[in-house]
Structure 1
Amino acid sequence: MHKFYNRENELLTLKRVSSNLEHSKGQLSVMVGRRRVGKTRLLNEAFAAGSHRYLYFFISRKTESSLVDEFAQVIRSELSAKFFHPQSLRDIIEFLLEYAKTQPLTVIFDEFQDIDKVNAALFSELQNLWDSYKTSAMMHLICCGSLFSMMVKIFKGKDEPLLNRDDRFFRIQPLQPSYIADVMKDHQQFSAENLLIWWCLSGGIPKYLEWLTVFSQESEDIFEAVISEFSPFIKEGTHRLVEDFGTEHRVYFDILGAIAKGNTSRNKIENYLGMGVGLHLEHLDNNFNVISKNRPITSKETSRDVRYSIADPFLKFWFRFIHANKSAVEMENYTYIRRHIQRDFEVYSGSELESLYRAILIESKQFGRIGGYWDAKGQNEIDVVAINDLDKHILIAEVKRQHKKYNQQKLIEKSQGLLQKLKLKDYTVSYHGLSLDNLQEVMAAPPGLEPGSIA
């Protein structure tokens, strides 16, 4: 998957800002997106072949002096500054701003939030330097980070030195279903069943799609390749989360493991683990963006009727099948894990088909609100409720792997409580069965506003 998919708007904007620096002077862009989502690739696409001079610095969690040495070397070779010997990161930023007074320059700091671990005082120093040079330096400064809450805090937190210094804020999301389908078609792998499998294994994250395209050429059975000693998927969950979670990673992993096994309420998670998890759930939701809080679409934000789920389909799969079999992984007993997948994947992927369909409806841009519903007793569950308040339309759908299992009459009966609670007068309602059988049809033309367009 070396072709570059999607991100056209981001590419154009980044290029436009960097080519206009002589007029605009200092511009600060913030780019946020989870690890592996393709931020570095996007920046590379934007600047590598272009005429804009750009420098890329990765903030790894080292001592300041070793980062200074590393960055100084880059500057000496890229900007022909043979005699540049900085003492601190502040010296480096000041030198680059000074340089940009005479030459347009794009500077990228990746994993910018980790400056906090290297030298937290640097945020204030950067603010002072930026404020004094912004109107004279032709610099496009791009601060890139993978921890959403930290990056928001740095640039939007009311007592933070860099508050509102950003000129634009990019949030890089995983690829949407139509782009996953494009990748698969380009590698002759597309079918409805395969799309569901690739959704479960990638969640639209470009790096994972890249791995899957390679694996799909090597093996008829994708799980043979994904669950094997040479597969990067086996350790990926650990690689992606351990560093962010820090010393408490075991507790967080236990909670995510419990959610992956179907313990979706706080009460169930606490009973399963035998400990209180309130604070950890807050962190997983707000600081790490790893879990989602789901409430019935009729509920207020403050409602306590919350079900937790792992937000990223790949991590959900990883905790459900790989982390849950840690001992088998240790013993390199991959056959055992594959048997576990063989036994449970059909049921598991049935519920993931729901998240795939929601993503398809989100991508269709037809609805202002999309969610699910269950009543106070946790019954009369409805998989998908999508509301378009502009055209006064409600779409109510049941998701099944096989279309023949969909019963429209039953769905209409189940929806009565939902419609009473929504209290939406003069709205048209359409009922749909969404399955693997009509997946391609729905992707080509998502259920529109006329009742019963795809029944």
Structure 2
Amino acid sequence: MCELFVDRREELELLRRAYSSRRKELIIIYGRRRIGKTRLVKESVRGVRHIYFFAEETLEKDNLDNFKRIVARGLKNKLIEKAELTWEELFEILEENEYVVIIDEFPNLIKGNKGIVSKFQKIFDRSKRLKLVLTGSSISIMESQVLGYKSPLYGRRTLSIKLRPLKFFHLKEFFPEKSWEELVRIFGITDGIPAYIEEVKFRLESGEKLEEVFQPNKMLFDEAEFLLRSELREPGRYFKILKAIAFGNTKFGEIVNYTGLPPSTVSQYLENLRLLHIVKEEYPLGDIEKARNRRYYISDLYFTFWFRFVYPNKTQLLEFGYIEDFEQEYNRYLGFVFERVGKEFLIEAGKKDMLPFKITNVGKWWKKNEEIDIIGINEKEKKVLFVEVKWEKLRSRDIEAILSSLKRKAELTRFKGWKKYYGIIAKEYRGRKGLVWDLKDFKEVLGDL
């Protein structure tokens, strides 16, 4: 299967500029597994002399021996492989030959020996023109032990890239023949994770239906469980909390009630999940960030999908290969997914000057039982756009009712005296124009992404 390399233009340009610079470079690239870090670095060194080394979860000596073999092969020098050489000596050889050095999954070296970070600090400090790239999937290790102020490497990085999922609109490059509605359905499972998008692409092109891509013995059936068990101790309790959030229990009290766990336990576990970037906190845009206003969301849609559909239905999937009433429940879930898509759409529309003003911040808003799906603001100009997102087919009277409700809720926000605008992003609508968009408008806004 030929993998597409989509977007990442900005990251590629930054990396290639760093490789050709006249100074030494310490480049840090990190992000969740399957996000495309390895593919990015390999793409970035096309036509560039380099050594690529994947660090295994093993003893430091084993990794050093493997690195030595790769260096010997890269430099076509068998004497290097036979010699007893340290990390420092191998890097001196590579620097003399002006090689870009990539250590993929650097956290595995740290797990083998925490002192390895100090060794790499000395290697970098002694070098004059070394180009060193360190990548990692363990975001917590990369942020604390590589980028953190207590790290021996602190202050030495010349470039750091936290690789994020592709945007929804990039799915069009993987599936040019699919409609925007079909892409939303795919995005609800894959998010913007390249490996998952490629997996679904392969399955669909092989004749499978979307509801078959997460059946037993396929990658998406147990991928989430494998990844999370590698990060979490006592996964049972964490899974209970993540399931609660996936089913829409986003307030702290709701999570406690759903799980039946003590509040102190839920609080600690949520903090651990946040540090691991599995869960994120959100607050109403424009309001003071108070604990009582906080809501929790799973950071990516694949994990959200897995805990909402696969995890609670594993027995049924293993026995029968399908989830009863999946289509009905999945369509309900897509309302949440479409809010994510709507936010991206609004940001891109703003970049193309298709909104009444330039948006500088975007978020959600809620107060008690009232919610507004998207708010876009310009603090300096005191302008605000309130938007409702509906995964539905709307008629003119539906639109009028939604806008009337939206105006009422807008008066409850803190944006008193601001110039207010109101809009709707729908799956499909008939009638009124203005600041009302549906899937037909996506091509105009996103045509050249």
Partner of 1:77: 73
CA contact (8 A) 1:397 1:434 kept: no
- Residue by residue over 1:69-88, the C-alpha shift from the partner in whole angstroms, topping out at 9 and shown as x without a partner, is 22222122112342336999
User: Alignment partner for residue 150 of structure 1, among 141, 146, 153?
Assistant: 141
CA contact (8 A) 1:30 1:168 kept: yes
CA distance in 1, matches of 2:223, 2:66: 27
Task: Supply the AA of the counterpart residue of 2:223.
Answer: E
CA distance in 2, matches of 1:28, 1:197: 40
> What is the deviation of 1:139?
2.1
> What is the deviation of 1:221?
2.3
The 10-residue stretch of structure 1 (66-75 or 166-175) with the greater mean CA deviation from structure 2? 66-75
Partner of 2:311: 323
Task: Supply the AA of the counterpart residue of 1:268.
Answer: E
CA distance in 1, matches of 2:10, 2:214: 36
CA distance in 2, matches of 1:362, 1:142: 32
The 10-residue stretch of structure 1 (93-102 or 433-442) with the greater mean CA deviation from structure 2? 433-442
> What is the deviation of 1:163?
0.8
Partner of 1:124: 118
Partner of 2:390: 400
CA contact (8 A) 2:407 2:422 kept: no
Partner of 2:5: 4
> What is the deviation of 1:371?
1.6
- Residue by residue over 1:196-255, the C-alpha shift from the partner in whole angstroms, topping out at 9 and shown as x without a partner, is 11110111111111112111212262213x13334211111122222122x332222221
2:34 counterpart SS class: coil
1:370 counterpart SS class: strand
- Residue by residue over 1:316-361, the C-alpha shift from the partner in whole angstroms, topping out at 9 and shown as x without a partner, is 11111111123234x44313x2x24224111111221112211323
For residues 225-304 of structure 1, what are the structure 2 equivalents within 5 Å?
A: 226-245=213-232, 247-275=233-261, 276-285=265-274, 287-304=275-292
TM score, norm. by length of structure 2: 0.87
Partner of 1:360: 345
Partner of 1:450: none
CA distance in 1, matches of 2:173, 2:377: 28
CA contact (8 A) 2:386 2:420 kept: no
1:159 counterpart SS class: coil
CA distance in 1, matches of 2:294, 2:105: 32
CA RMSD of aligned residues (A): 2.5
Task: Supply the AA of the counterpart residue of 2:309.
Answer: F
Partner of 2:32: 34
Task: Supply the AA of the counterpart residue of 1:282.
Answer: E
Task: Supply the AA of the counterpart residue of 1:149.
Answer: S
Percent sequence identity over aligned pairs = 28
Partner of 1:429: 421
Partner of 1:385: 375
CA distance in 2, matches of 1:400, 1:419: 21
> What is the deviation of 1:409?
4.0
CA distance in 2, matches of 1:33, 1:432: 33
CA distance in 2, matches of 1:168, 1:271: 44
CA distance in 2, matches of 1:66, 1:97: 17
Aligned residues: 426
> What is the deviation of 1:382?
1.3
1:421 counterpart SS class: coil
User: Alignment partner for residue 174 of structure 1, among 165, 190, 206?
Assistant: 165
Partner of 1:453: none
> What is the deviation of 1:105?
1.0
CA distance in 1, matches of 2:214, 2:148: 42
Task: Supply the AA of the counterpart residue of 1:30.
Answer: I
Change (3 A) 1:250 1:346: same
1:9 counterpart SS class: helix
Change (3 A) 1:222 1:433: closer
Partner of 1:451: none
> What is the deviation of 1:392?
4.1
CA distance in 2, matches of 1:150, 1:95: 26
> What is the deviation of 1:122?
1.0
User: Alignment partner for residue 53 of structure 2, among 54, 57, 64?
Assistant: 57
Change (3 A) 1:368 1:36: same
Task: Supply the AA of the counterpart residue of 1:423.
Answer: F
> What is the deviation of 1:428?
3.8
Task: Supply the AA of the counterpart residue of 1:126.
Answer: F
1:109 counterpart SS class: strand
For residues 174-213 of structure 1, what are the structure 2 equivalents within 5 Å?
A: 174-185=165-176, 188=177, 190-213=178-201
Partner of 1:43: 41
CA distance in 2, matches of 1:205, 1:346: 21
Structure 2 residue runs without a partner (length 5+): 352-357, 430-436
Task: Supply the AA of the counterpart residue of 1:357.
Answer: G
CA contact (8 A) 1:296 1:374 kept: yes
Structure 1 residue runs without a partner (length 5+): 448-455
